[in-house]
């Protein structure tokens, strides 16, 4: 019950910040998430809804990072362990949420991919003012990585283009 109240409080705070941003004329640019030890930014235009962790129904003969399918608000979504997909298979595949702050972030419906990404923690919304510096992506980075931004605390945030991620053959090929 406490988790539901915490999620509801988070959603209320996010809605209030969105409304404040609209009235001030400054729209947030990214949804900030933490995955493992990494910090990522998802474009608000490409991110969809946020859901608390729900158990998935496993799908046999799929990659270890594909956790299965879940019913989210009446829709069937494939659930991807973003950490395992980005960094390689974990020593022990994560078939359950690793902590109580874990959330599922769906891709925007306009991307036409019914997919939810497992993230370890939501860190709120960010716009350009939240960062003190930026650098272009590293040359060896995947195509779907964008710029890197450094916040006031010195934390580096990696931008991920969810549309490009969803178009990668490695992301679309689920078979093991």
CATH of residue 145: 2.40.50.180
pLDDT tens, residue by residue, 33-68:
999 899 999 999 999 999 999 889 999 999 989 999
pLDDT tens, residue by residue, 123-149:
999 998 999 998 999 999 999 999 999
Helix/strand/coil (H/E/C) assignment for every residue in the chain: CHHHHHHHHHHHHHHHHHHHHHHHCCCCCEEEEEECCEEEEEECCCEEEEEECCCCECCCCECCCEEEEEEECCEEEEEEEHHHHHHCCCCCCCCCCCCCCCEEEEECHHHCCCEEEEECEEEEEECHHHEEEEECCCCCCCCCEEEEEEECCCCEEEEECHHHHHHCHHHHCCEC
Residue 72, in any domain of the structure: yes
Higher local confidence (pLDDT), 147 or 87 = 147
Residue 100, in any domain of the structure: yes
Residue 17, in any domain of the structure: no
Res. 87 pLDDT band, cuts 50 70 90: confident
Res. 2 pLDDT band, cuts 50 70 90: low
Residue 83's domain comprises: 30-171
Residue 9, in any domain of the structure: no
Residue 109, in any domain of the structure: yes
**pTM for the whole structure:** 0.81
Residue 24, in any domain of the structure: no
For the chain, the domain total comes to 1
């Amino acid at each position: 019950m406490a988790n539901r109240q915490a999620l509801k409080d988070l959603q209320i705070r996010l809605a209030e910040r969105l409304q404040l941003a609209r009235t001030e004329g400054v729209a947030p640019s990214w949804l900030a998430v933490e995955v493992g030890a990494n910090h990522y930014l998802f474009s608000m235009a490409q991110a969809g809804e946020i859901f608390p962790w729900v158990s998935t129904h496993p799908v046999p003969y799929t990659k270890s990072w594909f956790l299965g399918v879940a019913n989210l608000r009446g829709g069937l979504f494939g659930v991807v362990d973003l950490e395992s997909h980005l960094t390689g298979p974990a020593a022990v595949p994560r078939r359950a949420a690793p902590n109580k702050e874990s959330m599922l972030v769906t891709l925007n419906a306009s991307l036409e991919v019914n997919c939810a990404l497992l993230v370890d923690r939501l860190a709120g919304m960010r716009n350009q003012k939240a960062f003190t510096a930026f650098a272009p992506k590293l040359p060896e980075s995947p195509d779907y990585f964008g710029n890197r931004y450094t916040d006031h605390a010195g934390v580096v945030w990696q931008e991920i283009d969810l549309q490009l991620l969803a178009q990668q053959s490695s992301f679309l090929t689920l078979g093991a």
